[in-house]
Chains A and B, each alone.
Chain A
Amino acid sequence: MRRNLIFVLMSLEVMLNAAGLAFVVAGSRWHQADGQVMFVFILAMAAAEVAVGLALVLHIYHRFKSLDVDAISEMRG
């Protein structure tokens, strides 16, 4: 299992891309533009998410000196 935070973010990008691919394929199947519109929304969401996520990764690395997700378990109950 990957425990690197940047790998987590990259895998998130792959999953968002897969969702967008499903939308575009469905829109292409029924010849509607709605699928591409939804992909544009997914793209904007991914851009905002990755900007905030990478800023958080930088903070976590400067504070914990590690990118391991198991190193950041202080809030575990």
Chain B
Amino acid sequence: MQPTFYIAGGVAVLSTVLMLTRLNLVHALLYLIVSLLAVSVVFFVLGAPFVAALEAIVYAGAIMVLFLFVVMMLNIGRSAAVTERQWLTPGIWTGPVVLAAILILEVFDLARGASAGLGTGATGPKEVGIALFGPYMIGVELASMLLLAGLVGAYHLGLRKTEKPEMQRDTGIDEGRADTGRDLVLAGTDRSARAT
């Protein structure tokens, strides 16, 4: 498992450096997604499959979609035609695609090997759940309070004026926020049900 770990770590470092040096927001987001997926592969190799799945789903899925929502809603590019032509050049997505292809080849290799862990064994989701709801109960309660505070705060910030673009912005934020955590799904669906 050693070369897999080093390749995934190298991909993570390289894509993070490329993310920091991009000038375009969407290109930087692409590299950031590749970096998070690479860190997810590193977690899997280290013997933490639950955290690896959580990283891929929540970080690379929900939070990056939230960033993408905001970037598209802000509509940063002034001259749209020039920007579109610039984005359509094929040289831009090849970097993230190559790095992600390296990662997916590693994942196939790992799935064929059917064993994870640099050390002796993996720490599965069962042990993590027992630790989470055993000695770390207070932390879970504090995290739920933090998520509730984040929900109320983002709702308050998104609901300032009732003009038409503001309403669009509010629904976008609400959708993204409902994706960010499982604790928020109930509140998000409740609010959207009340709004309709």
Contacts and interface: CB of A to CB of B under 8 A. Distances in A.
Interface of A: 2, 4, 6-7, 9-11, 13-14, 17, 21, 24-25, 27-29, 31-37, 39-41, 43-52, 54-59, 61, 67
Contact of B70 (A27, A44, A57): A57
Contacts of A61: 74
Interface residues of B, number: 63
Q: Is the interface of A mostly helix, strand, loop or mixed?
A: helix
21 contacts: A4-B25, A14-B35, A17-B36, A27-B123, A31-B119, A33-B130, A34-B131, A37-B131, A39-B54, A40-B128, A40-B143, A41-B139, A43-B59, A47-B180, A51-B150, A51-B173, A52-B150, A55-B153, A58-B73, A58-B157, A59-B160
A33 B59 CA distance: 20
A63 B25 CA distance: 20
Contacts of A14: 16, 19, 32, 35
Interface in B115-141: 117-121, 123, 127-128, 130-132, 136, 139
B146 A45 contact: yes
Given A24-B46, A40-B128, A47-B147, A6 B118 contact: no
A17 B74 CA distance: 25
Given A17-B39, A47-B181, A51-B177, A33 B63 contact: no
Contacts of A40: 51, 54, 128, 132, 143
A16 to B, nearest CB: 9
Nearest to B177: A51
A31 B118 CA distance: 11
Nearest to B122: A28
Nearest to A28: B46
Report the 3 A-B pairs with minimum CB-CB distance, sorted nearest first.
A48-B150, A55-B157, A47-B180
